[in-house]
Amino acid sequence: MYKMERVIITTLCYHGTDCRVAAWQSNGKISRICLEDPRGERLLGSIHVGKVQKILPDIKGAFVEIENRTSCYFPYTKESNFLYTMPKKASELRAGDELLVQVTREAIKTKAPCVSSNLNFTGKYLVLTTGNRTIGISAKIPSGKREKLKEFLEELMPEDCSYGIILRTNGALASAEELKEELRSLETQFTQLYQKALHTPCYTKLSKGESITASILKDVHWKETEKIITDQKTLYEELCVSRQDIPVASMCAIEYYEDSLLPLARLYNLERELDQALQEKIWLKSGGFLIIQQTEAFVAIDVNTGKHSSKKDAEENYKQINREAALEIARQLRLRNLSGMILVDFINMKNTNDQSELLQYMGSLVRSDPMQTVVVDVTALGIMEITRKKSAKTLAEQLLQLKKGE
């Protein structure tokens, strides 16, 4: 039976490292953990006045330098909408040009951060995008409502506007007036930021990246969330104010945790959850296990029968273990924030129908992942290929960054 999510936000000293933790619990299990330095700022989502260092025409990209002389990869096309901050004669992008960029992916291992000239201004219900005039609707909104909402948004956008709109899942709960008001607010944010950029030196950071807690306030799906629990007073008050703005009543409760004898992190065993999420070996209830290994090029996941023993037909056993493994793999992808190419070696099954069912089942499991995840196919060698969009560091990399104090 499906149970609604709980969100737990607290602080934790994990093996000597202080961190702020946001954890999501679904069906009694922690399904996602994010860590951040309580004193630091996130680069992801921040907006900068950057300078083009080098054009890479062969791969339709460039390198752009932002604050602290951080070099970022900048993919673009002929259709890209550049927001220049200095006058220029040539229409094409050139080295030395100064323009607005937003960090869309943090540095991952040896790869530089990634930036885009398509700036996103995110509200509770809408996202204003500067890259094009496209109207987008969250895929989680029922298809019956999508067409009417799109028509309303088309009427809402001025004819001469230079931006697009994306309606978030929570937007389906908002009234017409609330959507209009939020769009006006996002337009003002964009206009004020751009005007400020025209009179600001190069390499200036114009807006900070969102903290975990700030992004939670925007990303919570109130109708799917049973409770948000925190032991941080200021955040609790912010959540209460945010909850009052939700137009349709939901079951979601905001709870301030005050038990000093049993800290919130210990109540939900977050230290143990972190320990397990950083291990290579994950045991399954059936006695089988997963081996999860992150390499430079991809993530490898191996499914093993382990201690599983049964008098049932061997093929039926393999089918059951593979389905159990698929469910746990979908959870681990979110929990560890694994991304890029993911190769899964399930237990070999002779029946082609069983193989097809497993592929479809895996696809249905990753559909609820908030990060774009695609089950591609199964190779001739029986390896399932999955791709998951890269955006932020893995859980292991987040912890390593905190330990280094970066």
- The CATH code of the domain that includes 232 is 3.30.420
Same domain, residue pair 260 and 142:
no
Supply the DSSP symbol for 84.
B
Q: Does residue 400 belong to any structural domain of this protein?
A: no
Q: Does residue 402 belong to any structural domain of this protein?
A: no
Encode pLDDT of 191-210 as tens digits: 999 999 999 999 999 998 87
Pairing of strands 120-122, 135-137: unpaired
Same domain, residue pair 225 and 267:
yes
How far is residue 301's CA from residue 290's CA, in Å, rounded to a whole number?
7
How far is residue 89's CA from residue 126's CA, in Å, rounded to a whole number?
35
Final residue belonging to a domain, choices 180, 209, 238: 209
Same domain, residue pair 190 and 227:
no
Same domain, residue pair 28 and 54:
no
Residue pair 270/34 in contact by the 8 Å Cβ criterion:
no
pLDDT confidence band for 59 (50 / 70 / 90):
confident
Residue pair 62/312 in contact by the 8 Å Cβ criterion:
no
Same domain, residue pair 313 and 346:
yes
Mean pLDDT of 279-287: 93
Same domain, residue pair 104 and 194:
yes
Q: Is 174 helix (H, G, I), strand (E, B) or coil?
A: coil
Cβ within 8 Å of residue 383, ≥6 positions away? 343, 344, 345
Cβ within 8 Å of residue 6, ≥6 positions away? 24, 25, 225, 226, 227, 228, 229
Encode pLDDT of 223-276 as tens digits: 678 889 999 998 888 888 766 655 454 567 889 999 989 999 999 999 999 999
Final residue belonging to a domain, choices 252, 271, 290: 271
Closest CA to 328 of 30, 52, 71: 30
Supply the DSSP symbol for 103.
E
Q: Does residue 379 belong to any structural domain of this protein?
A: yes
Query: pLDDT at position 79, please?
Result: 65
CA 210-212-214 angle, 5° bins: 60
Lowest mean pLDDT among 207-221, 225-239, 324-338: 207-221
Same domain, residue pair 82 and 189:
yes
At position 1, the amino acid (one-letter code) is: M
pLDDT confidence band for 141 (50 / 70 / 90):
confident
Closest CA to 41 of 212, 262, 209: 209
Same domain, residue pair 112 and 228:
no
Domain count, the chain: 3
- What is the model's pTM? 0.72
Average pLDDT over the chain, rounded to whole? 88
Burial 141-165 (b: 16+ CB within 10 A, else e): beeeeeeebeeebeebeeeeeebbb
Mean pLDDT of 176-184: 92
Residue 181 token pair: 């008001």
Mean pLDDT of 140-165: 87
Pairing of strands 5-14, 17-26: antiparallel
DSSP per-residue letters across 46-80: -EEEEEEEEEEGGGTEEEEEEGGGEEEEEE--TT-
pLDDT confidence band for 212 (50 / 70 / 90):
low
Final residue belonging to a domain, choices 209, 236, 254: 209
Same domain, residue pair 67 and 21:
no
DSSP per-residue letters across 112-140: PPEEESS-EEE-SSEEEESS---EEE-TT
How far is residue 326's CA from residue 189's CA, in Å, rounded to a whole number?
43
Q: Does residue 201 belong to any structural domain of this protein?
A: yes
pLDDT confidence band for 15 (50 / 70 / 90):
confident
pLDDT confidence band for 90 (50 / 70 / 90):
confident
pLDDT of 311 > 60? The answer is: no
Element spanning 149, H or E: helix 143-156
Query: pLDDT at position 117, please?
Result: 94
For 231, the domain range is: 5-41+215-271
Question: Which of 5-9, 22-26, 219-223, 341-345 is modeled with the greatest confidence?
Answer: 341-345
Q: Does residue 406 belong to any structural domain of this protein?
A: no
Mean pLDDT of 297-316: 82
Q: Does residue 239 belong to any structural domain of this protein?
A: yes
pLDDT of 2 > 50? The answer is: no
pLDDT confidence band for 308 (50 / 70 / 90):
low
pLDDT confidence band for 219 (50 / 70 / 90):
low
pLDDT of 1 > 50? The answer is: no
Of residues 234 and 53, more confidently modeled: 53
Same domain, residue pair 31 and 48:
no
Q: Does residue 225 belong to any structural domain of this protein?
A: yes
Same domain, residue pair 290 and 332:
yes
Residue 291 token pair: 């081996």
Q: Does residue 293 belong to any structural domain of this protein?
A: yes
How far is residue 301's CA from residue 283's CA, in Å, rounded to a whole number?
13
Query: pLDDT at position 250, please?
Result: 58
Same domain, residue pair 293 and 371:
yes
Query: pLDDT at position 249, please?
Result: 47
